[in-house]
Amino acid sequence: MISPNEHLLAIDRVVERMDERAQYVRLDRNERVTPWPGKTFSEMLATLRPEQFCSYPDPSPLYHRLGATLGIPEDHLYLTNGSDAAIRMAFQTFVRPGDRILQPDPTYAMYPIYTRIFRGEVRAVAYDGSLQLDAGRIFEELKFCPRILAVANPDQPTGAILPEETLRQFAQAALEAGSLFIIDEAYYPFYPHTAIPLVREFENVLVTRTFSKVGGLAGLRLGYMVAQPGVIRHVQRIRGAHEVNAMAIAMGTYVLDHPELTTANLNEIEAGRRVLADACSGLGLELPDCPTNFQLVRWAGMKDTGPLVAALKGKGYLVKGSFSSDCISNCIRVTLAGPEIMVGFVAALREVMAGLSRP
């Protein structure tokens, strides 16, 4: 049997099985939980033309809409197969064997995986118990000139945010260190502040976004990066042929042309968050600030949330838990949905907590 590159043998990936998820309420992956309403979905499909299925995709309509929506030139944009592909391409373009990659811990799980795939070295700065990142440690690590500083803002799974001024200071320090600064904005506009203005100021800043969260298009895998044209040109050197498909382009364009869909999704998520918050207050659970479409829920008296996750699955709800990082080891992460779904979830949560609390 032919062997892969030797360094890849140290990367252990869990095979993802999606076939059983349809029987549960899926509050574990931060995707849109409820399908698009039938009328909206029919209108979305009505924008497709037969020739789009047999011709190679034309991304120009989406570039035009994005440029106009963001107020930036199209040569500052690059469409990708989800924002995850944007991050991977940045790593593939810029990371050399032995390079340091500076990142928070915990954070988006693919940062350390891509670091290892492209033979870099992970340098992690941990969030503390209050989910605050030690900016001083980041500045100290930047003195060692990492190839990339990668942060998600808001972070996932912690939901922690970094203020605009801190991001600006990181960008300046990274520029002086010769480091690319990746800012992942997957949860914009749940957190309605953006680092895109920094792209105009700093040649080393790259912002990534996705249509999977507020856009509700996780199944179509659509995202993009924003950076100065020089960075975009370098990344395009490794592009494949027609990486973004025609349906993703059409649906992404539709979502941008109908901002009321985003507004409705934001309102529904916040209404669901209030249902969860009211219930957790009565249950003695803590809710750290999470300006995202997910909510961390902390059970201070529980050291391992594995039994809670399993019990909720038994009630028909999938959530994330059993985090290895100390700062969230007693937390579960719940994808938010509208009040109807969250009312059912909190009823299940009360029931399983009562069972787990019994001696």
Largest interatomic CA distance in the chain: 64
pLDDT in tens, 108-125: 999 999 999 999 999 999
3-class DSSP state of 105: strand
Say what the pLDDT of residue 303 is.
83
Average pLDDT over residues 221-247: 97
Say what the pLDDT of residue 359 is.
47
pLDDT in tens, 264-280: 999 999 999 999 999 99
Give pTM, 2 decimals. 0.96
pLDDT in tens, 63-102: 999 999 999 999 999 999 999 999 999 999 999 999 999 9
Q: What percent of the chain has pLDDT over 90?
A: 92
pLDDT reading at 185 higher than 50: yes
Backbone angles phi and psi of 323, in degrees to 5: -70, 140
Q: What percent of the chain has pLDDT over 70?
A: 99
pLDDT-derived band at 5, boundaries 50, 70, 90: very high
pLDDT reading at 18 higher than 90: no
Contact between 195 and 169 (Cβ < 8 Å): no
Q: 34: how many CB neighbours lie within 10 A of its CB?
A: 13
Instruction: Estimate to the nearest angstrom the gap between the alpha carbon of 296 and the chain centroid.
Output: 15
Distance CA(259)–CA(257), nearest Å, equals 6
Of 258, 240, 209, 191, give the one whose Cα is nearest residue 72. 209
Distance CA(248)–CA(252), nearest Å, equals 6
Question: What domains does the chain contain, in order, with CATH numbers?
Answer: 6-30+260-357 (3.90.1150.10), 47-257 (3.40.640.10)
Backbone angles phi and psi of 301, in degrees to 5: -85, 0
pLDDT in tens, 159-184: 999 999 999 999 999 999 999 999 99
Say what the pLDDT of residue 44 is.
97
Average pLDDT over residues 244-266: 97
What the block records as the tokens of 122 is 């992970």
pLDDT-derived band at 302, boundaries 50, 70, 90: confident
Any alpha helices (H) in 187-283, and if so which ranges?
Answer: 196-201, 229-236, 246-257, 259-283
Distance CA(28)–CA(9), nearest Å, equals 28
Average pLDDT over residues 181-201: 98
What the block records as the tokens of 277 is 């918050």
Pick from 16-30, 84-98, 221-235, 278-292: least confident: 16-30
3-class DSSP state of 7: helix
Average pLDDT over residues 325-338: 96
Say what the pLDDT of residue 358 is.
56
Residues 6+ apart with CB under 8 A from 217: 211, 248, 251, 252, 255
Give me the chain's average pLDDT, please.
96
